[in-house]
Every structure is written in structure tokens, then in C-alpha cells.
Structure 1
Amino acid sequence: MLLDIHGARGSMPVGTAEFARYGGDTTCYSLHHDEGDLVTIIDAGTGLRLLVPQISKPGTTVTIVLTHYHWDHIQGLSMCAPMWQGDLSLRIIGPGDVAGAVSGAISPPWFPVPIADMKIEFVSAPESFHIGEVEVTTFPLNHPQGGLGYRFNHDGRSVVVATDHEAGTDADQALVRRSEGADMLVHDAQYLPSEIESKRGWGHSTWEQAVAMASQAGAGQLLMASHDPSRSDAAVDDLVARSVDLFPQAAGASCADRFSL
């Protein structure tokens, strides 16, 4: 399997030069088979714009799995031109009332036209399901209004995505259990340890907590994500360097990166 990164910022996109290398777009990943065929898109932040040219084929149906419905994880849907033009059908899987959450956010008066009028199948995520030959299992994340993490398994390889999660509660147990032996864990690392006390309840983790999760799970690689929108490339580099000292296979999610699992 191949994991592509199209956006990994948290909360809001940023566009000035000091954020260019790790990217200014919000969360969006895509999972592919080894030959490049798309399996699914994971979250639909502003990074979705970078993927749209690859999926803009008339008659295509694309599956998107959403961890939750905060704006930085769905905003890319509002600018997905082939969907609005009727060329692209979507199957959107997520926690709870998917149709209500997505349609409520992307509709008048917050958006000029209602997304509910488009060719979209909304599916509430079960505990386990398949996307083609890929087995998917879900688990709860600790994030305001809730969220889901996903584990994707295929042909003996696996990746776990837990982009927005605040460590330190019982939800950690499910995350570690679902991440056990994964080839890659994509985990929230928005804050520094010195910042977390003032951010309790905001739904994000520190890089130290991300490293601890990957270590406990025995993950092969750790990809730290949901970068703070105020954290420059240089500051993320420093965060990654400290992480590598404790977990050598750690990296920061950087736009346009591709990982082979």
C-alpha cells in the first residue's frame, strides 16, 4: 500500500513562506494499492484540492472516510469542482449522522449551494467494513464532538490514522490496541509538552505522547500530523528531531510525501 499526504495542518490553512515545506493545507491523505490505484481518501481538508486532478474522471466513484466533521477536515469538499459538475460520485463514510453533519456545514447560508443535492452516498461507519479488498476497522478518538480513527489492512500491511486525538484518557487503550504492529501510525502531534497544560480539552496531543503511542503499539513508523497552524517549518523540524531521538522511525507529515507500507 501507498500513503500520500495532501495536507496535514490542523485547525486552519496557512499560506506564508515559513509554512511551505510542511504545507499550508489542512488534513487530507489518500491510500493507494502498490500499482497506484486509489483505495480511499482519508479526510477532506483543503489538501483535497491537490488530489482533485487525479480523480477528475467522468463516471468515477470515490470513497472518502472522515475522522470527524470539524471544518478543517471537510472544507475541501466545498471546492471539489468535479463533484459539483456531476462528473464525480462520492461515498462518504464517517461517524454518526454523516449526511446531517456534512450537509449542515456545506449549505446555505454558509455555502451558496447545498452539497446534499450532489451524487453522494452517506454511510455511518460500522466497527469494521471493507473498501474493495482492504479491511477497515474503526475506534473512538478523544476529540471535541467525538471522532474516529481508522486502521487499514491489506496483504499483510497496515496503516492507522488518528489525526485528531488528545492523549491521556481511556480512549488511548483502544488506539494502542488497534495500532498494534501497524506498519505506520499517523498520530496527532500538534503541541509541545510545554504547551499542553493550557490546551487541555482542545483535542490534540504532544509529540511526546505520539511517540509513546507508537512505542506502546509497536508501530513500524510514526508520522506526526495535525501541525499547529502557528508552527513554522523550522519549528516542526525541531519537534521531529526531538522525536527521532526517542523513536528513530518518526517523521513529520509533509505535503506531497509518499510512503510505501
Structure 2
Amino acid sequence: MEKIISALADSARWRILELLAERPRSVGELAELTGLRQPQATKHLQTLANAGLVTVFPLGQRRVYALEAAPLAEIGERLRLLIDTAEKNSSERDVVARYRAAIETDAGKADRDRWADGRSFLFERALPAPRDLVWRHFIDSTLLASWWAPPSLTVSECVLEPRPGGRAVLEYRDAEGRYRSEGRVHAAQAPERLVFDLSVLDGAGGVSFTGHYEVDLKATDGGTALRLRLRITETTAEALPYIAGIETGWRQVLDNLTQAVGVAMRANAATEHSKEEKDHD
């Protein structure tokens, strides 16, 4: 494949292939049509032949070249799959673009400490699961780790102890480093309400900013209505990339939560179905 891509990267060779796609042609004809000298045309044809893109037919004193379409079809299929994958995941590119736009919007403001103190966010989501299951996805560390990080990040530690004074910890990693937040739970009323703080720490252990979270869960006919309020304080100038990513990051995280509780619901349904079948037997 590398030979094929390399061969296609030259405009003269590409023109030769276009001409051969119409019909087989001799070296002299190709040189005349492309404006190349015959030795140049021969060298390009040898490169194309080595890549399997053309075949030469010696016909007496003439050497006629014909296009081999199969390697091009293989490259075309690979490109089509690449394009399909990119289009399917175009929203991921949009996330990065929105993140960059948010950084640019706040860049002029983040020239001093406390620049974003008091900024607040509200996130709401209808979840297809009963309230007690959603609650468990917040207080069970294993379940919490299954959704509480945007794509490309891996949770290495997360704790929300559901009691006043309980620990709140979120640590995740990616290929470039480790990111840790620590705080305390202030209120926990199962399975309705959870209030906690998390301070995002810098590399030296200092506070970049603190997030104050209020999570309310309301039972509905279709499952659970989640409302998450977030207010930030203690912001430093260095917190800009973190704060710019809050809006996008939490939407991604809540997408993860929606998927996680959906998976749990389907697993529970399968377990119940299996149990009913055993009872029936």
C-alpha cells in the first residue's frame, strides 16, 4: 500500500494513470501527451509498474502499458472506509472546535486570579433508568468510573462517599499526564440529592479552581430527570483550559452516563428474563 500511495503522489504519474484509464498506450504516446521526455515517461512507468498499478506488454519494438485497476479499487475502498469513519465521528471534531472556541473567548479575561469566580452551569438530562440505579452510578466507585471522564481519558480513581464530610476524588489520565481533583461531600440524600465540592489541582498540588456541584434526581414515568448545577470559585489564570472545557466535557460525560445506565438496564432485563425462564422450567 505504501508503494501505491507513493506512486500516486506525483502529478505526472497521476496524469499517466488518467490516460491509461482510457486505453492502453505506448511509452512514446504517453510522453507526447504528458509533455515529458521519453526517458522521464519510462521512469515514471517503471515506478507505477513496481507499485502494481500498470502492466507492460512488449509488442515487437513497442512497449504498451495498461492500467491495473484492482490496486486502485483497494485504495479506493480504504479511502471510502476512512471517509465513512470520519463522517460518522464528525461530532468528535466539532467537540475540539468548540473547546478551542471557548478558550479563545475566555483568553482575554483569564489575565488574573478570580477571573471566573461565580460562573455557573446547568446541565439537565432525562435518563432511561430508575432513580436508585442512577444514584448507584454516582456513589459506587466502579460504576462512577465507567462514565465520569470524557473520551480519551481514563479514570484511575474516583470516589463520592455519600455522607456529609465524605471524600470526593476524581483522578484521570491520558497519554500526556495525570489530572486530579479533591474535595468533600456536603450533603447526601439517597436517592435524591448529592452536594459536593471538587478542587482541580495543578502539578504542584495547588488549586486551579474549585467546582461546587449540586446533583438532583427526580423520578419520572420514563426514568429519572437529572439536574446538575455547577458553580466555580477560586479560579486562577492557569485554569483557563479547564474552565473552557466544562461545558463540552460535562455534556460528553452525561452522554456516557446515559449510555451506562442504559447498558445496566438491559443487563438487568436480561437477568430477569433468564430467571423467569429458569423458574418456568
TM-score class, shorter-chain normalisation, is: under 0.3
Q: Which has the higher contact order (CA 8 A, sep 6+)?
A: 1
Query: What TM-score do you get using the length of structure 1 for normalisation?
Result: 0.23
Structure with greater helix share of residues: 2
Tell me which structure has the larger Cα radius of gyration: 2
